[in-house]
Structure 1
Amino acid sequence: MITHDHLALLARPYGLGPDGLEFVRSNQNHVYLGRRGDRKCILRVSTGRHRSGEQVQAELAWIEFLAAEGVRVCRPIPALNGDICVALNTAGTDCIVTCFEHAPGRKIMQGDIAPPIYEKLGGVLAELHRHTLRLPADHAARARPHWHESRLLREDVAELRGRLSPAFVESLADLMEKLRELPVTPETYGLVHADACLGNCFVDDGQLWIFDFDNCEHGHLTQDFATILYDSIYCRVLNQFADDGLNDRIAPLWAALWRGYAQGGPLAAMDAMQLKHFFLLREAVIYIHYHRTLDMAAVGDSFQAGLEVMRRNVEAQTHQVDFDRLAALSCTAI
């Protein structure tokens, strides 16, 4: 949390006051809900842990590009002086402050978890991928890093040495090496959202809006599918642990996702091994994030048991998800 006085300094360039801001969450950023005039807005404070001013400006440039193409994204709101984002120092901490439009509609609820919402999400992903492959070569958004340069996979792992098992670190390095051997082609590689999931979407009058592009990076388009599969399908239908019916619950949601994507997305098929490796990379990132942000001595036994499953999955590079079945569905769901 940010103190009241510091929040006042950070919000002032946008004409916002701390008393009119509602705390939303603190994860990689501090996020607040506010109001500009009669419209809701989001104030985001990045403390510079893994984002430079240039990278934030590149993120905002991509959002503006997508908005201009008609994609339902939340555009940045300039500061009162016209700056797209503001760099400030409070109490010795460098901060980058941005303000965004608030998405219309509502959060995705558990009752929405059915094929129709995934078909809509597939359509949004198709729009993102189609437009990213048309991004001009000199566009400001290209200043975003590549996937393998992520702090989550480099500095965070180095800082957690001694808390991550040697086998986990070795397997993560092996996964990254395998994925870096994939061909980088203009048909399958470009800016990806890198955190595409239902948690970063609102639904409004039957249409999905997508936001939170803070992790966007240059990567393989399959990465966005792996993130959705992990965050918005696997974790949504998982019981406490994987059971015999897990893949039967996953299949119709995945088929709907691909059906929505196939209406205009540039990928024509899904490679099972590539999907598996990016899925395991996502699981590794989540595992690392938990170890960086949580007091492992204070979490419950069931959470610890879940972490052990994640660790073993990454170390052995195996998983309970049937990736061959999903790849086959990608060929038949059109």
Structure 2
Amino acid sequence: MTGIYDDQFVNRLQQGVLQLAPRWGAGAEASVRLLTLSENATFLLEQPDKEPLVIRVHRPDYHSRAEIASELNWIQTLRDNQVVTTPALIPLDDGSFIASFDDQGQTRYVVAFAFMPGTEPDADANLIPGFELLGATSARLHQQASAWTLPPAFQRKTWNFDSAFGAQPLWGDWRAAPGLTPAGQDTLERLCQRLQQRLANYGETPDRFGLVHADLRLANLLVNDKQLAVIDFDDCGFSWFMYDFAAAISFYETSPLVPELQQAWLRGYCSVQPLADEHIQMIPDFILFRRLLLTAWIASHPETETAAAAGHETYTQGTVELAQQWLNQQETNQ
């Protein structure tokens, strides 16, 4: 499917990273190979007798330099305070952390992280203990974010109804989703109307809305000897704290394990700080919010490995089915 990450574009990015490699101390024998294509392009910088580096080339026209600097600021603060295990930032030869190169007249921003061993958790019953640990990790992140005085220049995106589904949606319009039928669009329009009302009633006060990771899905977790590390803060921004659970089950929203995963996550969360019922009761809303947001993302990022794994049209159909179930439940509860 069409998209920005065609072979020529990826090759240009790879060459740009290779040109920057000496600024991270890499020698002439260094090599660069593609790891993943999702929102950004991620490469592995390897050289003999040295630990590899993970290099992230930011997607054009998504985050500003100030937003990237703010992400890195939060990561370093979390590391300094031992809030979460996450890879170290790797500085350039001048001590800065954001590199760039020119790509046909456009600036591409690049950051480097230490390589961290571990594997992505499997989506099976063994996830349940891990989700309890993830819940505790999420609570610690929310505690730190709530207590932290943001630096004056801190800039990150906001993930709320308007930014997700308003006039200028951050990830595109879900109405462009592959395989969306008129009947399906009608169902999702009704979902939007109901979600907008319920989220407005819930509100965005500081006890429920703040700085969050916003993408704690399995692909951004690393398990190594029963230790959980969190990677990829690229989507971190301001949203509802319970949205972090919805993000954690991204692409597995229809799994029969979701209720058990939710209970495990809540056990872990409440072992760190209490959670009022009004927040817990909103979790199904955030699951649908995230699902619709991902449906829009797949429509605007069709060429990525993530979109292909989700199934394009299959994912759209699943979104419509989940939306109808949620709407039916809402009618029952009225």
Which bin holds the TM-score, normalised by the shorter protein?
0.7 to 0.9
SS in 2 for 1:109: coil
What TM-score, normalized by structure 1, do the two folds share? 0.78
Per-residue displacement from partner, 1:182-220 (whole Å, max 9, x unpaired)?
Answer: 332222221111101222111123210101100001111
- AA aligned to 2:50 is D
SS in 1 for 2:282: helix
Alpha-carbon distance, 1:80 to partner:
1.4
Per-residue displacement from partner, 1:73-113 (whole Å, max 9, x unpaired)?
Answer: 12321111111212332122321100012223333235673
Q: Which moved more, 1:58-67 or 1:257-266?
A: 257-266
Residue of structure 2 equivalent to 1:2: 11
Q: d(CA) in 1 for partners of 2:61 and 2:288?
A: 24
Matched, 1:38 2:50: yes
Taking structure 1 as reference, are residues 288 and 43 closer, same or farther at Cα in structure 2, changes over 3 Å only? same
**Contact 2:173–2:296 (CA<8 Å) still a contact in 1?**
no
Alpha-carbon distance, 1:146 to partner:
1.4
Q: Which moved more, 1:194-203 or 1:146-155?
A: 146-155
Alpha-carbon distance, 1:29 to partner:
0.4
Q: d(CA) in 1 for partners of 2:206 and 2:246?
A: 20
Q: d(CA) in 1 for partners of 2:132 and 2:88?
A: 24
Residue number among 235, 239, 264 corresponding to 1:219 in the alignment: 239
Q: d(CA) in 2 for partners of 1:312 and 1:108?
A: 27
Alpha-carbon distance, 1:319 to partner:
7.7
SS in 2 for 1:107: coil
SS in 2 for 1:122: helix
Q: Which moved more, 1:309-318 or 1:208-217?
A: 309-318
Identity of aligned residues (%): 23
RMSD: 3.3
Residue number among 120, 138, 142 corresponding to 1:107 in the alignment: 120
Residue of structure 1 equivalent to 2:316: 307
Residue number among 66, 72, 97 corresponding to 2:78 in the alignment: 66
Matched, 1:86 2:106: no
Q: d(CA) in 1 for partners of 2:174 and 2:18?
A: 32
**Contact 2:174–2:296 (CA<8 Å) still a contact in 1?**
no
**Contact 1:130–1:266 (CA<8 Å) still a contact in 2?**
no
What TM-score, normalized by structure 2, do the two folds share? 0.78
SS in 1 for 2:172: helix
Residue of structure 2 equivalent to 1:195: 215
Structural mapping, 1:1-334, within 5 Å? 1-3=10-12, 4-16=14-26, 20-35=31-46, 38-70=50-82, 71-110=84-123, 113-138=126-151, 140=153, 142-148=154-160, 150=163, 154-158=169-173, 167=186, 168=188, 171-172=191-192, 175-176=195-196, 178-231=198-251, 234=253, 238=255, 246=256, 249-265=257-273, 267-269=275-277, 271=279, 273-294=281-302, 304-314=313-323, 317-318=326-327
**Contact 2:140–2:272 (CA<8 Å) still a contact in 1?**
yes
- AA aligned to 1:13 is R
SS in 2 for 1:39: coil
SS in 2 for 1:179: helix
**Contact 1:313–1:319 (CA<8 Å) still a contact in 2?**
no
Alpha-carbon distance, 1:303 to partner:
5.9
Q: Which moved more, 1:60-69 or 1:72-81?
A: 72-81
Taking structure 1 as reference, are residues 35 and 282 closer, same or farther at Cα in structure 2, changes over 3 Å only? same
Per-residue displacement from partner, 1:148-170 (whole Å, max 9, x unpaired)?
Answer: 36478615435965976653356
Taking structure 1 as reference, are residues 76 and 216 closer, same or farther at Cα in structure 2, changes over 3 Å only? same
- AA aligned to 2:18 is A
Higher relative contact order (CA 8 A, sep 6+): 2
